[in-house]
Amino acid sequence: MLTTKERGLLINIINHCKKINGKINDLEKEQYDKNEDVVQIICFNLLQIGELTKHLEPSFISKYNRIPWRQIKGMRDKIAHGYGTIDMERVWYTAHEEIIPLQKYCESILNDNDDASSL
């Protein structure tokens, strides 16, 4: 059974995934490259997802290990602190290829724990 905190974190992660998906849905790479507003929206939501994952307990991460939680936190740090430059190709790939699986996995965790009614 999920704690109230875990449930809330997962719901927030899902909501940020949906925001990213809403911005990249039907968006071509060339459009992404030319639209700084979209890039900033995606980066902000990736940063938020990473921040939320930092609050997941080690026991949760160990149990639900099909997602690279550590790398998600690392991407948050790179976006937040810059570390020189942000790899915009990696941001595009993450938003385009990895956000939907993350969203679906978080939804499945909620569903498996009978928390789907809160979505």
**Chain-wide mean pLDDT for the chain?**
92
Q: What is the pLDDT of residues 75-105, one digit of tens each?
A: 999 999 876 688 899 999 999 999 999 999 9
Q: Are 9 and 55 in contact (CB under 8 A)?
A: yes
Domain-located, residue 50: yes
Domain-located, residue 39: yes
Q: Are 113 and 10 in contact (CB under 8 A)?
A: no
Overall pTM > 0.85: yes
The string over 58-82, giving b where at least 16 C-beta atoms fall within 10 Å of a residue's C-beta and e elsewhere, is: eebeeebeebebeebbebbebbeee
Q: Is the pLDDT of residue 114 over 80?
A: no
Show the CA angle centred on residue 68, arms to residues 119 and 92, nearest 5°: 80
Domain-located, residue 119: no
Q: Is the pLDDT of residue 119 over 90?
A: no
Other C-beta atoms lying within 10 Å of the C-beta of residue 16: 21
Q: Is the pLDDT of residue 107 over 70?
A: yes
Domain-located, residue 44: yes
Per the structure, how many domains does the chain have? 1
Rounded to 10 deg, the angle between the 36-53 and 4-24 helix axes is 160
Q: What is the pLDDT of residues 18-65, one digit of tens each?
A: 999 999 988 999 999 999 999 999 999 999 999 999 999 999 999 999
